[in-house]
Structure 1
Amino acid sequence: MDAMQLLLVLAMFGVGAAVAVSAASVDLTIVVPAFNEEERLPVLLNDIHEYVSARRADEPKFSFELIIMDDGSRDKTSEVALEFARMHGIKEIRVVRHVINRGKGGAVTQGVLSARGAYIIFCDADGATRFSDIDPLWQKARASERQGLAIAIGSRNNQALSGTVVQRSHVRAFLQWGFHTYVTILGVRGVRDTQCGFKLFSRGAARLVFPNMHVERFIFDIEILLLARYQSIPVVEVPVNWHEVAGSKMSIVRDSVQMALDLLAVRLNYLLGYWKINTH
C-alpha cells in the first residue's frame, strides 16, 4: 500500500519513541486518537486534507505526517482512514491499531512518542475544532518558545474576546465550569480550558512531557499541564472555533466523577513523589 502503513500494536506495548531519541524529519505530525469513529472521522480528515493542500500551495516544501491511533475500535475506523487516504492520494499516513482500548490518553501518548515532526499536534477525531485554527496556535507557540520548548493549547473559553465561535450544551458548560474550579483548587492555575482536544507541542516539549506520562484516560490533559509546569515549559492558551458534535463516547456524569477521582490521584502521586520525572 505504498507509504501507507497499518500497524497492529498490542495494547500493552509501545510503537517506538522517535520523539525522545531522534531529530525531526517533517514539519508537522498530526496525531488523531480514535475509538469507533468510522462515522465522524471523515469530517476531520477532510478538514486536515484541505488545510494541508492549501498550506502546500503556499509553501511547497511543507511536510507532514498523519498518525491515526485506532484505540481498539470495533468498527471500521482504520479502514475508513486508509480508504480516505487512498482516495485523496495521502501517502503520509500511519494507522496504528491497539488490539484493546487503552483510553484517549494512552492513544495520544503512543502517537506522540512515534512522531517525527518538529511540531506535533493532537486533535479529537470528531472534528469539533476547525483544523485551520492550528495556525494561531503555531504562531503563539513560536512566539513563546524558549530553548526549543513550547506548548500551545486550544481554548473554548475566550470567544467573547476573540470572535471565535463556541457551541456547547448548558449541561456541558456547567460541568466545564465546575471541573475548571476543581482543577484550579488542585493546583493547575492559569489555564481556563484544560480539556480542549487541540494541543500543539514543539518537539522539545513533547520529548520532556510524553515519556513521563502515566494517565491513559480523559484526565491525561491535566497531567500534560502538570508536567509542563514542573519542567518550566511555556504554555499559551489560544482561542479556537469549536462546536459540540453528537456521538461522544463520554458519559457526562460517570466520567466526570471518575475524572475528579483520577485528578486527585495524579496530584497526590506527584506531590508525594511516587511518580518521578525523567528529564533525559
Structure 2
Amino acid sequence: NSHIIIFRKIKMILTALIPQITVVFPIFTSADPSATRHEKEKHFLAADGKEESFPNLMDPPSLELSVVVPSYNEELRLPVMMDEAMEYLEKRQKENPSFTYEVIVVDDGSKDKTTEVAMKYTKKYGAQKVRVLTLVKNRGKGGAVRMGTLSCRGRLILMADADGATKFADIENVEEGLESIDEKPDNMAISCGSRAHLEKVSVAQRSLFRTFLMYGFHFLVWFFCVRGIKDTQCGFKLFTREAALKTFSSLHVERWAFDVELLFIAQCFEIPVVEVAVNWTEIEGSKLVPFWSWLQMGRDLVLIRLRYLTGAWRLESERKTQ
C-alpha cells in the first residue's frame, strides 16, 4: 500500500537524521517542569473551611482508591461527572464498608468557578472523601494529573476526565485488567481504558482531514514512543500506587501528550500495562482544538524521544515531589 511506503520513507529519513540531531539537541532543550508545589498547593480546605495539608505519594496508602480529576474551566461539566462518580462510589462503599476512597479534583488554574463547584462536594461528603487542589497557575492536563497523583492516599489511583466521557462504573473493567496481570514487579502495574474498539465508528463520523491527523498521531506514537497500546490518550487509567510513584516521578510533559510519555516511561521500567475496553461518549465542550492540539502533540512526541535519546531527560526512580 502507498501509505506503508510513505511511512517507511519517513522512518528511513528520521533514522538517518537522529544521530545528527542528538549532537546539537540538548542545546535547544528547556528544563523539565518542576514538580515542586507552590506553598498554596500544599493545602486543601476542609468542609468547615479549615486548611489542612495534603499527604505525599511516598507515604504508605491509607485508602483503597484515589480518583484524580484534572479540571480546567469545568464548572458546567464537572457536576455531571461528579454526581455519577459519587453515586457509584457511595453505593460501592455501602455494599462493602471496607472499600475506602477519595476524589481529588485538581483545578488547573481555571478562570471560572471550577473550585467553587468542586468545594460543594467537599461540603456535602466531607474532606476525607472529596478534596480540591487548586493550582496557582495553569500547568496543563498532565501537570494537573501529576499534582493530584502526588497528593493521593490510595492503594490504587484512577485518573478520570472531568467531562465524564467514560462511564465511571467502567472502573470495574480497568480493575479487572489490573487483576489479570499475574506478574507485578515491585507491585507495579497499569490498566488503561481504551476506545480502540470504537475507532471504526469514529472514523466514519470524522472528516478526511481529522482522520489523517488521527492516523498520523498514531504512527508517531508507535514510531517514537509506545508500542502495543492502541489508545494512549483515553483519560481513564488505573495505577497501583507503586507504578504511579515510579512513572510520575520521571514525567516531564505536562500537556496533552503526557499520557504517551507516561506509558513510554512505564515500558522503559518494564512495568506491565494492559488495555481494556471502556464505554465512551464524546461530550461537548472539549478544550482540545483539533488541528493545533494534534500539531502540539505531534511535536511533543518527537521531542520526548529526542530528549531521552540525547540524555537531556533521564528516567529517575525518585524526583523531588514536594
What TM-score does the superposition give when structure 2 sets the normalisation length?
0.78
Matches within 5 A, 1:136-215: 136-144=173-181, 146-147=184-185, 148-159=187-198, 169-171=205-207, 175-215=213-253
Q: 2:88 aligns with which of 37, 51, 54?
A: 51
Which residues of structure 1 form unaligned runs of 5+?
A: 9-14
* Contact 2:122/2:131 (<8 A) preserved: no
Q: Distance in 2 between matches of 1:88 and 1:141?
A: 28
Residues 178 and 99 of structure 1, relative CA distance in 2, 3 Å threshold? same
Residue deviations 1:135-161 (CA, integer Å, cap 9, x gap): 110111122151311100110012599
CA RMSD of aligned residues (A): 2.5
Q: What amino acid is aligned across from residue 143 of structure 2 in structure 1?
A: G
Rate the CA distance shift 1:134–1:24 in 2: closer, same or farther, 3 A: same
Q: Give distance in 1, aligned partners of 2:50 and 2:68.
A: 15
Aligned position for 2:155: 118
How far apart are the structure 1 equivalents of 2:302 and 2:49?
39
Do the aligned partners of residues 189 and 84 (structure 1) sit closer, same or farther apart at CA in structure 2, a change above 3 Å counting? Answer: same
Check conservation: 1:105, 1:216, Cα contact below 8 A: yes
CA 1:166–1:127 in 2, change beyond 3 Å: closer, same or farther?
A: farther
CA contact (8 A) 1:32 1:123 kept: yes
Residue 77 of structure 1 aligns to which amino acid in structure 2? T
Does the 8 A contact of 1:6 with 1:97 survive in 2? Answer: no
C-alpha spacing 1:3/1:221, structure 2 compared with 1 (3 Å)? same
Structure-2 separation of matches of 1:57 and 1:114: 25
Offset from partner CA, 1:221-261 (integer Å, 9 cap, x none) = 01101100000000000100001111111111111111111
In 2, distance between residues paired with 1:246 and 1:6?
Answer: 36
Candidates 52, 63, 79, aligned match of 1:26: 63
Give the aligned partner of residue 134 of structure 2. Answer: 97
Q: Partner residue of 1:71?
A: 108
- Specify the structure having the higher radius of gyration (Cα): 2
Equivalent residue number for residue 267 of structure 1: 305
- CA drift of 1:51 comes to 1.1
Correspondent of 1:220 among 258, 266, 285:
258
Between 149-158 and 176-185, report the one with greater CA deviation: 176-185
Counterpart secondary structure, 2:180 = helix
Q: Which runs of 5+ in 2 are unaligned?
A: 1-44
- In the other structure, the counterpart of 1:130 is 167
The equivalent residue for 2:30 is: none
CA contact (8 A) 1:150 1:201 kept: yes
Amino acid aligned to 1:170: R
Distance 1:25 1:175, change over 3 A: same
Instruction: Pick closer, same or farther for the CA change 1:115–1:89 going to 2, 3 Å.
Output: closer
Corresponding residue of 2:10: none
- Please give the alpha-carbon distance, in whole angstroms, between the structure 2 residues aligned to 1:47 and 1:188: 32
Q: Which has the higher helix share?
A: 2
| Alpha carbons of structure 1 residues 54 and 185: separation in structure 2 relative to 1, 3 Å | same
Q: Which deviates the most, 142-151 or 71-80?
A: 142-151
Q: Secondary structure at the match of 1:212?
A: coil
**Residue 290 (structure 2) pairs with residue 252 (structure 1):** yes
C-alpha separation between the residues in 1 aligned to 2:83 and 2:117?
12
Taking the aligned partners of 1:168 and 1:89, their CA distance within structure 2 comes to 45
Aligned length: 270
Q: Secondary structure in 1 aligned to 2:305?
A: helix
Contact 1:71 1:100 in 2 (8 A): yes
Per the TM alignment, residue 173 of structure 1 is displaced from its structure 2 partner at its CA by: 5.3
Residues of 1 paired with 2:48 and 2:202: CA distance? 35
What is the distance in 2 between the residues matched to 1:241 and 1:91? Answer: 29
Distance 2:240 2:50 in 1: 26
